[in-house]
Amino acid sequence: MIEFDNVGFTYQHAADIKRAKRRKRVAAEPRADWGNRPDEVWALRNISFTLDKGEFLGIAGHTGSGKSTLIQHINGLLTPTEGRVLIDGEPVGNPETAAKSGIGMVFQYPEHQLFAASVYEDVVFGPRNLGCSADEAEERYRKAMDRVDLDADALRDASPFGLSGGQQRRVAFAGVLAMEPTVLVLDEPVAGLDPKSREDFLQFIARLHREQGLTVVMVSHAMDDLARLCTRVLMLNQGRMHALGTPAEVFADGDQMKAIGLGQPAAQRVGSKLMAKGIDLQQPDGLFTLETLTSAVAQVWKQRA
Ligand SMILES: Nc1ncnc2c1ncn2[C@@H]1O[C@H](COP(=O)(O)OP(=O)(O)OP(=O)(O)O)[C@@H](O)[C@H]1O
């Protein structure tokens, strides 16, 4: 279970601590009033929620609303200025301890972090660092490559830099999966991919969630993707929680989304507009998806014919 307990974060505060540590003026503890200056900009404020094992949480929000800042608290890359982040009741340490406790982080454009001379070395770098034997690293390499639909034998000695952009991203992803995480944190994982690779990737993330039982936290600007994949959505606005609930609860209210500069998922938007124009569509329990909207329109069409 992941718990955010009244978390606030300012980059100013983090930079102050770093500077002060560098100058050795203070020990690890910050001054008590840091983070509470009236002129300080809070990237996150009053964030409280819990995420159970096996959930798929989507994080939405306007640009600069704090999405990336929030997820970097899950793997200990950032430390709260106030409040606490707990994983299974324990405070998150640093990225290394977080990786050991099963948090896998996939950053935006993860292929930019490829570094090794061969695909094999890149994928097993993390497991070897965690102390895996050569045999276990080999097994993890095969499993991870299989999960991302890449040929483990054919690509083993290939340079990751000679692969296509989509393949590079898969290799980077395999490197995270080889650490065998139980929680996968993804920052806009399909940004910059062509439509087919985009869909392949999303389906592959959905499979990891559904079949392997992974807990997934995914930042995305694509409301349609969040609506169809997530069990819950957290919507941020200016560093604060604007809404948290099922996709239906969060996305159904178009006005609420418009107020913070976001649009509803496309099928819901079209469905709502048709209904506002007097077309009596059979509304599903939750949101309109492409499928339920198509059936509802077809039903009205048939009745009129
Ligand atoms: N390294 C940094 N130093 C100072 N301020 C930062 C830093 N990174 C982000 N910020 C600020 O913190 C706030 C939250 O930024 P963050 O990147 O978390 O938002 P985001 O919702 O992920 O945005 P985007 O959708 O554009 O990626 C913004 O005001 C941003 O300008």
Predicted local distance difference test score (pLDDT) of residue 28: 47
Q: Which residues line ligand 1 (CB under 6 A)?
A: 11, 43, 61, 63-69
Confidence category of residue 69, pLDDT binned at 50, 70, 90: very high
- Closest residue by Cα to atom 4, ligand 1, is 11
Q: What is the pLDDT of residue 33?
A: 43
For residue 239, pLDDT beyond 50: yes
Domain boundaries, the chain: 2-251, 265-304
pLDDT at 140 over 80: yes
What integer pLDDT is reported at residue 38 of this predicted model? 52
- Dist CA 300 CA 273 (whole Å): 15
How many whole angstroms from 300 Cα to the centroid of ligand 1? 46
Of 108, 226, 104, nearest in space to 174 by CA: 104
31-35, 207-211, 256-260, 301-305: which has the highest mean pLDDT?
Answer: 207-211
Rounded to the nearest whole angstrom, what is the distance from the C-alpha of residue 64 to the centroid of ligand 1?
A: 5
pLDDT value for 305: 77
pTM of the model: 0.89
Ligand 1, atom 6, residue with closest C-alpha: 11
pLDDT digits (tens, 9 = 90+) for 96-139: 888 888 999 999 999 998 989 999 999 999 999 888 999 999 99
Indicate which residue's Cα is closest to atom 7 of ligand 1. Answer: 11
Atom number of ligand 1 nearest to Cα 221: 25
pLDDT in tens, 74-104: 999 999 999 999 999 999 888 888 888 899 9
In percent, the amount of the chain with pLDDT more than 90 equals 64
Superfamily name and number for 2-251: P-loop containing nucleotide triphosphate hydrolases (3.40.50.300)
